[in-house]
Structure 1
């Protein structure tokens, strides 16, 4: 008997070796009617192998001849392809326009067994359960079986001793909608409210002969599948199965009030700091791609707009940035106008960039152990390391229960040494964020390069829970460190316990920028393609102050930048911190304007003109000017600010005649205002937002704008 087992094992191992020998790399491009399609999921059926297309629509996956590749994407029909002799398989996705053909009316009167989600919730920490596994041990006569090599989505529910095959499966009804067994297996158990099982005569009495093998009735916490079409259900299952709403309970976002309209007669000056951060957009993208509602306070409109690059003209004088303005119609309030202000940072060749002194500050606490945190962080850092030169220096500081130096300053061309140091990191312990910051800045200042790029790069989920932990403490600490002349880049990772508020505070107060890395493609964009803009400042403490002409402007409001607004007197105060501008960076700000003579529900009665603060009459005619705008900035190593002045003409153009830059930036802002539930927009149609964005698509080499349009469409399906 023992020899038979050994022979059996040997044969099994031989078969495995043969299979591995036949395995090869399959590549290709996935596209739709509009071109390459990023973010498509490709999996090998009956295996756990899965990958996604990059922003060029390209993919690579290991498979053997005869394997079936499954291509799925939100809003598109799932497609399959069998691996044959060719190593290249290109797929064109087709929109899924199917509608649900049958709706089952559910009777809840008779049930034989009942499963509450308390069971699922109590076992969450032990393992990820599928919806099928949630039934095991809780419903009489039902157990779950899955064979080796099969993914959880291939689970089979077994009634007693006999497997329920396609001919002997129960009916699956979720939130009143008939589901297939494959669909049922994809439901995230953390979204389950309760499960009821109806058997025998009770089942057939309610549902007819189709229910001869019983009925499993499942309801979700928010009835997310109720009255959904087949297309919507597919989209939700493909995305929301990855994460449940419960996983968001520990995420932290700062709340703020949307900017209101102001009168230039009583508030003639609008002052704010520029913002080149784009973390909010990638975080929003993560929510929508996971089939989740976007939290209102996670939406910062200016960060959404500034995620995208616009083709503004390069500066032609000694100033580090050019200025572009445009005035056109508001797409969401027909009587209003939108003023767009665009800055274009000077594009400095990589060879001319100063030497870098970089200190990576890596969170290796226990909260960073999941796949989308430390493992993704390591891959991200490889992208950045590949951009380094021999004259650059890199050090690595880590923090968990305490902080420590794991790599002393090392030349940038010693890439293997640097990457090996990252690969050796592992997660565990609490989070001494304050101690880590102290040590990272100490190393950075000790190796400070005069006229160089001195920067701490913090990579974390923001979950500081030991030592200095409050946002106020962190703000004080980072403001002190800013005085060293060392810049700060914050990279956010993960979900569930993500602390956006801490990350934003650190970046805002530390002469820094902030990005949220939700996948390797985003890491490649921020740390690779936009390395110069992300890591090399050409101007710091950049402030904008605009004075509106009351002869042209009845009221105005700044769209976004709520937490970047400054007092008028802060504009000339060089002690006040503001945003930085990187090489070849673009910054865009939008104002909504109510022209003089326009009746609007957004304007209340103006207060009486005060005796001592009455605005003086000016005999000079400025009727052809909408506003005067001033900019102040410092050189990266400077302490004195430099001022630029620019006059904005009052002549507006129609929305149809506006530039593509204007149309696309307005569409992004419009979507952000909709996500925030703004009361200051009339039109809220996703179709109109997407239509306007499509008019600004031509300059989209990496497909980011096309991806935005798909997000607008996907978000519509979730509501």
Structure 2
């Protein structure tokens, strides 16, 4: 009888817990400097309930009545266990963590085992020859890193009539700026590379004719933000190649699966993005996958492009954990690319990462030298950036530049589709390499000039004719746009300070060439299989049109440039204003089938609401 009472009491006790509803606990997770931490995993100890903190470090979790402890986990911070009290809200502070080991985490290693990773290359993989292994403790909070940009100033034509720069078709800065604005933040000044924002958009330039794979287009008009000054718009168009005529590809996906890639906008987004690229592969294309964390290993050996399910399964089985042996991963990826090298094909390593290299060849110089050496063997490197909080833009941009490849930043699936589907040929297939532009201005018409953006692409004038100097590449169908702001002869501008005339320099009009020529645009490029450059040049006459009569190409590009000047709070922004950018861009949408130009206007409005500076009404 006594036993029956005990059972009955136990059942009643259990029922009481069933009848009591779960509690909802909300809170904020901060680092030791009181900055919010996103993507912290919040879970009930010994339970199934879990969630993650948002960009503001906030969370909300439904907690069973029997729960006693909530666990807070993040790869860059020490795990914290907090006792549940009667309070419905809590604030939790996490301390900086330490790198667990030099090898892949157990979780990541298990995921790689699923797809047959040869662990002889993993657990005890030594550092590359001559390179010391280095472990760096991840930093807390926001540790994003950008190269400093010192804006180009105005150059006096009488002193420096030549200007030279390397062509750039990267577009990463625009999608990165969009990520900040969509998160309700103004982007860091050095994240705003105006030339990449301009080149994010497609422009309808005429296709090349004749033997050259590049066509040069120019327009000249009034500056929309600096009255009295002019804008020179230069557009390069690479020849479009039909997909069926593209050469076969030998691709190596080099995937960062370190602990810093755990967030939803990193490895999970990366997997889905790469699947879009897999869908574009043909039977003649080959692909392999290398994953790296504390060490590097082959996840998928060389596989035909028609085995799409096998490739996608290998991607699905990747999980994040551990430190970041980026240098070792790059070496292994190049090794696979060389093994599957196609003499007449496109041989390329595609690195996907947040750029947080902290084990192995971690110095930027060491990685640059490695990539430059491999580039000479015909294997190029493209980089796709992901994530926020510890994104190393400065690192991944440099790697792509040195690897003769493209650099993209993917913040959502729409951007992944743009990079890997709509621009598949241009992203992966080079039609002209080492492309350089040199402009000679005629001092009879141009008093001073300034190149907007391209600060990290400037070249010495004497390097234009030097075929040993590396420069940018253009892919099939790609466009490159550059804008110069010009002070015409006779105009006054506070941006320039006159210097004494050169004593030994000829200044007679007869020495300046044809008097109606304002400048000459010269382009040097190499065909993909050649190391000898080809020269293309076009003289431009001193003929200006009103802005309203110029092409949609010029009007929209100038709107993007004006937006970049405001985001940078440039000293050359003049009368630039959000209220002027919006109608200028709207009037130059064109077909805009994908809605990118319409989205640009929404970003301008978002920046206008976030920018604390008051705009003054401008007189048109």
Classify the TM-score, shorter chain: 0.7 to 0.9
Distance in 1 (CA, whole Å) between partners of 2:465 and 2:187 is: 38
Q: Would the aligned equivalents of 2:273 and 2:417 in 1 still touch at CA under 8 Å?
A: yes
| 1:365 aligned residue | 258
1:441 and 2:343 matched: no
Residue 176 of structure 1: aligned partner: none
- Assess, with a 3 A threshold, how the Cα gap between structure 1 residues 133 and 461 changes in structure 2: closer, same or farther: closer
Secondary structure, aligned partner of 1:539: strand
1:9 is displaced (CA, Å) by 12
- Alignment deviations for residues 677-711 of structure 1 (CA, whole Å, 9 cap, x no partner): 11112113101011111111123110000000000
Q: Which residue number corresponds to residue 116 of structure 2? A: none
The TM-score normalised by the length of structure 2 is 0.79
2: CA distance between counterparts of 1:688 and 1:445? 52
Cα contact 2:444–2:512 (8 A) shared by 1: no
The residue that corresponds to 2:284 in the other structure is 391
Corresponding residue for residue 598 of structure 2: 706
Q: Distance in 1 between matches of 2:333 and 2:446?
A: 49
Matched, 1:318 2:211: yes
- d(CA) in 2 for partners of 1:386, 1:131: 32
Describe the shift of the 1:121–1:661 C-alpha distance in structure 2 as closer, same or farther (beyond 3 A).
closer
Contact 1:322 1:345 in 2 (8 A): yes
Compared with structure 1, are the counterparts of its residues 116 and 257 closer, same or farther at alpha carbon in structure 2 (3 Å cutoff)?
Answer: closer
Q: How does 1:448-597 map to 2 (within 5 A)?
A: 448-597=341-490
Unaligned runs of 5+ residues in structure 2 are 1-7, 43-51, 66-84, 94-138, 612-620
Matched, 1:676 2:557: no
Moved over 3 A (4+): 1-11, 115-136, 144-148, 160-163, 613-621
Match of 2:545 in 1: 653
- What is the CA deviation profile of residues 582-630 of structure 1, one whole-angstrom value per residue up to 9, with x for unaligned ones? 111111010000100001101102234143x556764465221110011
Change (3 A) 1:595 1:442: same
Greater RCO (CA < 8 Å, at least 6 residues apart): 2
Contact 1:247 1:495 in 2 (8 A): no
SS of the residue aligned with 1:666? helix
1:96-144 Cα distance to aligned partner (Å, 9 max, x none): xxxxxxxxxxxxxxxxxxx9996976998564568999899xxxxxxx9
**1:36-435 map, 5 Å:** 127=42, 249-435=142-328
Look up the match of 1:715. 607
1:640 is aligned to 532
Are 1:278 and 1:303, in contact at CA under 8 Å, matched by a contact in 2? yes
Shift of residue 3, structure 1, vs aligned partner:
7.2
In the aligned structure 2, how far is the partner of 1:323 from the partner of 1:122?
49
CA deviations on 1:510-561 (whole Å, 9 max, x unpaired) are: 1011000001110011111111111111111011000001001000011100
Structure-2 separation of matches of 1:683 and 1:470: 42
SS of match in other structure, 1:566: coil
Q: Of 575, 585, 590, which residue of structure 2 is paired with 1:693?
A: 585
* Aligned counterpart in structure 1 of residue 523 of structure 2, from 627, 631, 643: 631
Give 1:293 shift: 1.8
CA displacement 1:172-200 (0-9 Å, x = unmatched): xxxxxxxxxxxxx9xx999xxxxxxxxxx
Closer, same or farther: CA 595–424 of 1 in aligned 2, 3 Å: same
How far did 1:488 drift? Answer: 1.3
Residue deviations 1:278-299 (CA, integer Å, cap 9, x gap): 0000000000000012100001
Partner Cα separation in structure 2 for residue 275 and residue 8 of structure 1: 68
Tell me, yes or no, if the aligned pair for 1:433 and 1:469 is still in contact at 8 Å.
yes
Q: Is the 8 A contact 2:253 2:288 kept in 1?
A: yes
Q: Is the 8 A contact 1:129 1:189 kept in 2?
A: no
Quick one: structure 1 residues 383 and 5, their matched pair in 2 at CA, closer, same or farther if it must change by over 3 Å?
A: farther
Shift of 1:403: 1.2
Distance 1:262 1:132 in 2: 44
Contact 1:131–1:189 (Cα < 8 Å) also in 2: no
**1:708 partner SS:** helix
Distance 2:455 2:33 in 1: 43
The 8 Å contact of residues 120 and 129 in structure 1, kept in 2 or not, is answered as no
Q: Is the 2:37–2:57 contact (alpha carbons within 8 Å) kept by the matching residues of 1?
A: no
User: 1:472 Cα shift?
Assistant: 2.1
Q: Deviations over 1:201-232 (max 9, x none)?
A: xxxxxxxxxxxxxxxxxxxxxxxxxxxxxxxx
Partner Cα distance (1:389, 1:414) in 2: 9
Q: Distance in 1 between matches of 2:219 and 2:59?
A: 60
Distance in 2 (alpha carbons) for counterparts of 1:135 and 1:640: 59
Question: Structure 1 pair 131/448, CA: closer, same or farther in 2 (3 Å)?
Answer: closer
The two structures have a TM-score, normalised by structure 1, of 0.68
Equivalences, count: 522
CA distance in 2, matches of 1:372, 1:314: 37
Residue 130 to residue 365, structure 1, CA distance change in 2 (3 Å):
closer
What corresponds to 2:46 in structure 1? none
In the alignment, the residues of structure 2 paired with residue 377 and residue 575 of structure 1 have an alpha-carbon distance, to the nearest angstrom, of 35
- Tell me: CA distance 1:408–1:356, structure 2 relative to 1, closer, same or farther (3 Å): same
Change (3 A) 1:485 1:329: same
Contact 2:30 2:36 in 1 (8 A): no
SS in structure 2 of the partner of residue 386 of structure 1: helix
Q: Is the 8 A contact 1:120 1:189 kept in 2?
A: no
CA contact (8 A) 2:146 2:191 kept: yes
Contact kept, 8 Å, 2:430 with 2:473, in 1: the verdict is yes
Unaligned runs of 5+ in 1: 12-45, 47-114, 137-143, 149-159, 164-184, 191-245
- How is 1:3-18 mapped onto 2 (pairs within 5 angstroms)? none
- Shift, 1:641, TM fit: 0.7
Q: CA deviation at 1:470?
A: 2.1
Distance 1:413 1:116, change over 3 A: closer
Q: In 2, are the aligned partners of 1:338 and 1:590 still within 8 Å (CA)?
A: yes
SS at match of 1:656: helix
